[in-house]
A and B are shown apart, each in its own frame.
Chain A
């Protein structure tokens, strides 16, 4: 019976067709463009919305300070969200793929845990700021209405905000959390494969 199987020899017989170098270069340029497009899209949409809101301010010249505060809170909410979104995209790039596997997995895990916390907090903050901002914004215009229409407008606005806050927000958060929890558990599973031996650090140096 054969006792020494030449694993190395079998392993090295696996061959793959090497794609043309030019194909890789094309893929590289596509990759750069698609990354940039994705980041630019979110930024442009939110910045355009901010610009539109500010345009309303200058065009309609609101009289009450509550309207202006409302606008500022809405715009701030969007800008904070944008800032967080951009920061996260950058963070993902700062993880050094030339670290050892152990450090790499630990860094990725830390980032995902941070993202889980930030995403839910930032999302709630974004919703809260938009709700407060809109409520303040409407004061000036409802004052011009009859009591009935003012109440009606506020009732509709608050109903819409309540649906958002109580229905859509928890749903989005739950979905994001489920996705990230799956990752965290996968990383924990990987992390557990390194023995808890402090001497390992010697090897990583």
Chain B
């Protein structure tokens, strides 16, 4: 498996999942890089039992969930509050709004909806997260409803 090819193919997708989780551009970039460091380390152990995409998304979502542990261990200094919500100025407001809404969901819901929006099959999402397919389906339905409602409440500007 060519690592460079995986890096090029999956970078944007993994970035979006991380961005949905933390809604912070530079932090999401760091998490994406960390994900690829783990992928690089684990790649020799990858057996073709599962889809490589599912495998990478599993690593990425675990890395996001683990973020709190790493932060605790590294004793990172707290960022000033005004820097925390750093986003790219050029990003359209509706995109910013969607990512903001997602990052305010419960952690597992963030991962489930991010994977759904990345067009991962629901059966694969179930395997990644460790939920039953029924649970995933119900969750996705509820989260989409919630997000749509938020967009409407936000003035239906988009």
Chain A interface (Cβ within 8 Å of chain B)?
1-5, 7-8, 10-16, 18-19, 21, 24, 27-28, 31, 97-105, 108, 112, 179, 182-183, 186, 190, 193-195, 197, 199-200, 202-204
How far, in whole Å, are A58 and B28 apart by their CA atoms in the complex?
56
Q: Which residues on the B side are within 8 Å of A99 (C-beta)?
A: 58, 62
Select from chain B the residue with minimum beta-carbon distance to A199: B132
- Interface residue total, chain B, C-beta cutoff 8 A: 64
Select from chain A the residue with minimum beta-carbon distance to B111: A101
Q: Which residues on the A side are within 8 Å of B37 (C-beta)?
A: 24, 27-28, 31
Segment 84-132 of B: residues with Cβ below 8 Å from A: 91-92, 94-95, 98-99, 106-109, 111, 114, 117-119, 126-132
Q: Quick one: which of B32, B59, B144, B158 contacts A97, CB cutoff 8 A?
A: B59
Known interface pairs A16-B15, A16-B29; A101-B129 also in contact (CB < 8 Å) = yes
Whether A202 pairs with B33 at a CB distance below 8 angstroms is no
Q: Which residues on the B side are within 8 Å of A194 (C-beta)?
A: 108, 130-131
Interface of A is mostly: helix
Q: Quick one: which of A8, A101, A193 contacts B128, CB cutoff 8 A?
A: A101
Whether A203 pairs with B108 at a CB distance below 8 angstroms is no
19 cross-chain CB contacts under 8 A: A1-B156, A4-B148, A5-B151, A10-B95, A10-B158, A11-B20, A15-B12, A16-B15, A18-B11, A19-B33, A98-B45, A98-B59, A98-B62, A100-B58, A100-B129, A101-B111, A101-B130, A197-B135, A203-B136
Q: Quick one: which of A3, A101, A182, A197 contacts B65, CB cutoff 8 A?
A: A101
Whether B68 pairs with A183 at a CB distance below 8 angstroms is yes
Interface of B is mostly: helix
Whether B42 pairs with A98 at a CB distance below 8 angstroms is yes
Whether B152 pairs with A203 at a CB distance below 8 angstroms is no
Select from chain A the residue with minimum beta-carbon distance to B87: A14
Whether A108 pairs with B127 at a CB distance below 8 angstroms is no
Q: A5-B158, A14-B99, A24-B36 are in contact. List 4 more A-B contacts (CB 8 A).
A: A5-B148, A14-B95, A18-B8, A18-B15
Q: Which residues on the A side are within 8 Å of B42 (C-beta)?
A: 97-98
Whether B127 pairs with A16 at a CB distance below 8 angstroms is no
Q: Which residues on the B side are within 8 Å of A200 (C-beta)?
A: 130-132, 135
Known interface pairs A14-B16, A16-B25, A102-B130; A7-B95 also in contact (CB < 8 Å) = no
Q: Which residues on the A side are within 8 Å of B4 (C-beta)?
A: 21
Whether B33 pairs with A193 at a CB distance below 8 angstroms is no
Known interface pairs A16-B29, A193-B108; A100-B16 also in contact (CB < 8 Å) = no
Whether B132 pairs with A28 at a CB distance below 8 angstroms is no
Find the residue from A10, A31, A179 having the highest chain B CB count within 10 A.
Answer: A10
Q: Which residues on the B side are within 8 Å of A3 (C-beta)?
A: 148
Nearest CB of B to A118, in Å: 16
* Interface check B77, CB cutoff 8 A: no
Q: Which residues on the A side are within 8 Å of B118 (C-beta)?
A: 11
Nearest CB of A to B74, in Å: 11
Whether B130 pairs with A186 at a CB distance below 8 angstroms is no
Nearest CB of B to A102, in Å: 3
Q: Which residues on the B side are within 8 Å of A16 (C-beta)?
A: 11-12, 15-16, 19, 25, 28-29, 32
Select from chain B the residue with minimum beta-carbon distance to A93: B41
How far, in whole Å, are A98 and B41 apart by their CA atoms in the complex?
11
